A = this chain, B = another copy of it.
Amino acid sequence: MKSRNTVQRQLVHETVGRLADHPTAEEVYNCLHEDHPNISKGTVYRNLGYLSENGELRRIAVPGSADRFDHHTIPHYHIQCVCCGMFCDIDTPYLSQIDAKVEQATGFSCEKHDIVFQGVCPACKEKSE
């Protein structure tokens, strides 16, 4: 369990922070590839996985499309526009009590949950009229 401090790992971490707005693995790779043309896609995936496992990033599973990564690790929810794909944070309190309710109802243990709401963003609502 000795983890190494490689240049690539730092770059991946940094890039998710720099891109700020929940990039996909692909987006991280593309951005990184500009300045560091010989970084490999496998390495980007491996490091995104590693960093998420270790709580340095948060993996967001998006229904119907590629996972996204968030450098903001405090629990919060997201919403995505079903028309244009716009993806953003929601400024709403995290429902920490529902994990406990779920544990009671199921007998599972459950420490966290994620919600990606699907809706129509203001811009797309306007367009459709």
Contact = CB atoms under 8 A, between A and B. Distances in A.
Interface of A: 61, 63-64, 77, 79, 81, 88, 90-92, 95, 98-99, 101-103, 105-115, 117-122, 125
Contacts of A105: 90-92
Nearest to A86: B108
Contacts of A109: 119-120, 125
As for how many copies of this chain the complex holds, the number is 2
B63 A110 contact: no
Contacts of A99: 117
Contacts of A103: 119
Given A61-B63, A122-B108, A102 B92 contact: yes
A103 B117 CA distance: 10
